[in-house]
Amino acid sequence: MIIYAVVPARSLSQRFKNKNIALLGKKPLFMHSINFAKKLKFVSKIIFSTDSKKYIQKIKKKSNIIIHKRSKKASSNFAMEEDILQDIIKDFKKKNMQLPNGILWLRPTHPLRSKSVFEEGYKLFKKFDKTVMIVHKEESRLFENKNKFLHPINKKMKNRSMIRSQECDSLYSIFSGEFFKMPKIITKNFLGKKKMFVISPKITKVDIDTINDLNILNNNIRSNKSTFKKYLHD
């Protein structure tokens, strides 16, 4: 099975300009995802997908990396993963390059990753040929806003003020990445209806959305180097 890792790094972030090249430690954020992909033996090639010439200059001398310069459509504020995938396929066909059997999607904004968790995810993907998401457990005692009042999402809290966490079924969020088959036809539901999952350690549940997020993570790493060492890929 041929697996390519895709590291999408758009430069036009609205809330945090040039977020993907902001420094985590001494390396740009996107390099942590690239370095992680290099540690995975099952990854044949790494696709670095960007709209930025500046980003390309930072990466072009790195070995075993395919640079994908995005079209305007795939670079817009409204572009989704399916638009980037379509753009990559079009670019590969134009260059007469081989498409992989599967993709591992690695967003730069989630830089902390467990190698063993991704290896487990790959084994599931290879065995069952289904999408495998690397997820984190979430608190399920959540509320939604209805007419400016809080209403519990968890039905067990409907007639109670509080319940213990042990009574709650787990919810999950996507953070670290996902494995999926290279689609023949790109649709909005390219991941398919049945998605398997592997749970990642709580420490890797980091999403860099603002400069404050990055500053907090940098400070935490400096204060607890031994704790984060296993999950950093700089």
pLDDT in tens, 200-215: 999 999 999 999 999 9
* 45-66 per-position pLDDT tens digit: 999 999 998 899 888 777 789 9
Whether the predicted pLDDT of 154 surpasses 90: no
Q: What is the mean pLDDT of the chain?
A: 92
Which residues are CB-contacts of 58 (< 8 A; sequence separation ≥ 6)? 21, 28
Beta strands in the chain (DSSP E): 3-9, 23-24, 27-28, 43-50, 65-69, 102-105, 131-138, 143-146, 149-152, 171-181, 195-199
Q: Is 194 within 8 Å of 162 (Cβ atoms)?
A: no
For the domain covering 3-137+170-231, report its CATH number. Answer: 3.90.550.10
The pTM assigned to this predicted structure is: 0.92
Whether the predicted pLDDT of 15 surpasses 80: no
The residue extents of the domains of the chain are: 3-137+170-231
The backbone torsions φ and ψ at residue 143, rounded to the nearest 5 degrees and listed phi first, read -130, 155
